[in-house]
Structure 1
Amino acid sequence: MQYTRFRFDGRRQWTSRGRRLASEGLEKGLEHVLGEARRLVPLDEGTLERSGKVVMTGPLNGAVVFDTVYAARQHEELSWKHLPGRSAKYLEIPMNRERQVVLDLMAVGLRRWLRG
């Protein structure tokens, strides 16, 4: 497992501004993943694609959600046929592929704050 750790050297305390910046960065990162997922989501009438949204559940917790009754089944069913460029695992693929982009988007505001 690869991960990135932010280490604070004691010069700055983890303040509400730091938490807010990290949360805003996470939301931007999840919006990016949502955009990539919409490019892969199976397309028939577009209902599934339009149901995608980012939900922030806490200061540093969020999720990309596709909110239809068949979203999970459509995501997991590998044997179903899709239009070219569309696929099952429409959320898992971009979440894994865009991981570093999400981390970079989270770090932008924090870097400026820490350098301040």
Structure 2
Amino acid sequence: FQAIQQQLAVLANEVVASRMAVASACAALPGKDWAQQAMIAKIICGLAAGRAPAIAHQVHGAIGFTREHSLHYATRRLWSWRAEYGSEAQWAAKLGKMAIEHGGDTLWERLTEAA
């Protein structure tokens, strides 16, 4: 049971991190750093869309792949949404390029302002 509790805690962490990233991006919309926040949210949510279903299927076992259980529907939706508008690697590369263009001297300030 302890291993399952650990997996569920990791799953909950993925969900909360995704929600916070999206909330931060939405809050930044009127400001100048909205694009950066949107990129960060896309990366975090994309990573979570890969990790969370894997954990959910491990916890549920083989039943999650059967027609009797609805988990496979949610998994396919998440994977489909994850694939839209570019991968995490593409957005991470764009975010890194943006950070380099702004110069290393202001990187820490930009990161801590966005948080």
For Structure 1 versus Structure 2, the TM-score category normalised by the shorter chain is 0.3 to 0.5
When the two structures are superposed, what TM-score results if normalisation uses the length of structure 1?
A: 0.34
With CA pairs under 8 Å and 6+ residues apart, which has the higher RCO, 1 or 2? Answer: 1
Say which structure is richer in helix.
Answer: 2
Say which structure is richer in strand.
Answer: 1
When the two structures are superposed, what TM-score results if normalisation uses the length of structure 2?
A: 0.34
